[in-house]
Copies of this chain bind each other. A is one copy, B any other.
């Protein structure tokens, strides 16, 4: 069993209204000195087998096909 963590973040230049809302809410709560906030997604996936490089290739294919919208999002895969 191999565990992989995938972090999907918006590309630079893509507007992030959710992040902006959080920025505003943090200001309202009294947190000052907060620059930009960007929100992304994380997926923890368990893959059967013991071959880390095969698992990584599989996870990358999942990202391309389903988990990330590569037009506006970047993804990073970490095998743990």
Interface residues of A (CB under 8 A from B): 1, 7, 9, 19, 22, 25-26, 29, 31, 33-49, 58, 61-62, 65-67
Contacts and interface: CB of A to CB of B under 8 A. Distances in A.
Contact of A31 (B34, B38, B49, B61): B61
A40 B41 CA distance: 6
A72 to B, nearest CB: 15
Contact of A29 (B37, B43, B66): B66
B35 A44 contact: no
A79 B42 CA distance: 17
B45 A7 contact: no
Given A22-B66, A66-B22, A58 B31 contact: yes
B45 A34 contact: yes
